[in-house]
Homo-oligomer: A and B are copies of this chain.
Amino acid sequence: MQRLLNKPENYVDEMLEGLYAASPDKVTFVNDDKRCLVSKYKKKGKVGLATGGGSGHLPLFLGYVGKGLLDGCCVGGVFQSPSPEQMLNVTKEIDQGAGVLYIYGNYGGDIMNFDMAKDMADMEDIEVRQVIAGEDVLSAPKDKADKRRGVAGIFYVYKIAGAAAEAMKSLDEVERLARKTCENVRTVGMALSPCIIPEKGKANFELPDGKMEIGMGIHGEPGIKLEDLKSADEIVDTMLEPILQDLPYKSGDEVSVLVNGLGATPREELYIVYRRVSQILKDKGIKVFNVYVGEYATSMDMAGMSISLLKLDEELKTYLKMPFDTPFMTQNQL
């Protein structure tokens, strides 16, 4: 894989300069720090929503900042956590008097830094709550669900919490809905190739031709095992089973489905994957409410994909249906 870049050490900041230049009406930054990204859309009295995490996962994380989703994002280096100070800067900027909710993935560095930012915000009398998304079923067993990594399914937590905040729900309510979404979303991923981190210039792990790894994380965290590449249908069968067992599901349930590309896998193949997902769900009597197919949480130029299911009830559907608009994607009212 060859890259379009200038100096590798400027990769993240030049990407941000490009984004601010491309979307001057939608996003900006605070404290003269490009990595403290905030939405230009503001609404007095609305709960502020912030996220953050390493770069290299676009549209995760900063691509979810915009009307109907999040208000701010702290941008780390490639696969690196942003700092507590950056998180505090964003927090202060997006607080509209109703408190701030942090939503981020279950990774040690992020937890440590968001915890510190929360403490600092407390001292400035900003009420901060935290919801940590961890829905990667194969990253830890069910009795250790709090160890599970956060991956593409975090999109649903942003979506539901973002819509609730936009509907002027209280911090308690937005937090409750974010937690409820976490409880109802499950993801399994798989990789067909590693990716190359710009500053390192080499693959972050080995994945030989003809092999795949189901359960692999978006930073190359090990999956179940390295095994021979199978057909798309067999792969989907293997991935969907642990998702459906974990919650569990029964006939008559309703879901939203997210088929997420990790970077290099063509959209064509994500639809081949969804084809099989829809067949399995139909066989089990599970109704599909809506579907997202595309790149929602990538890993540079990694080939592979993940499947996320959000189990819905009427309340979650109400918020899922609401529109959003960011520089990366737009949803009309469903």
Contact = CB atoms under 8 A, between A and B. Distances in A.
A171 to B, nearest CB: 28
Interface in A46-61: 55-56, 58-59
Interface stretch (A1-9, A143-151, A158-166): A1-9
Given A268-B55, A271-B15, A272-B18, A2 B303 contact: yes
A204 interface: no
A274 B3 contact: no
A301 B1 contact: no
Contact of A18 (B209, B265, B273, B303): B273
Nearest to A334: B25
A313 interface: no
Nearest to A5: B232
A303 B267 contact: no
A23 interface: yes
B272 A6 contact: yes
A298 B305 CA distance: 18
A271 B2 contact: no
Contacts of A209: 2
Nearest to A236: B4
A322 interface: no
A270 B5 CA distance: 9
A12 B2 CA distance: 28
B212 A56 contact: no
A278 B22 contact: yes
A265 to B, nearest CB: 6
Interface string A14-36: 11111101110000000000000
Nearest to A4: B269
A18 B281 CA distance: 13
A6 B234 CA distance: 9
Given A264-B263, A305-B4, A331-B330, A293 B22 contact: yes
Contact of A274 (B21, B59, B305, B328): B21
B22 A212 contact: no
Nearest to A55: B268
A231 interface: yes
A134 to B, nearest CB: 25
Given A18-B274, A330-B332, A5 B298 contact: no
Given A301-B266, A301-B303, A330-B332, A271 B22 contact: yes
Interface of A: 1-6, 11-12, 14-19, 21-23, 55-56, 58-59, 63, 192-193, 209-210, 212, 229, 231-233, 235, 263-275, 278, 291, 293-295, 298, 300-301, 303, 305, 325, 327-332
5 contacts: A4-B305, A18-B293, A19-B274, A267-B295, A325-B332
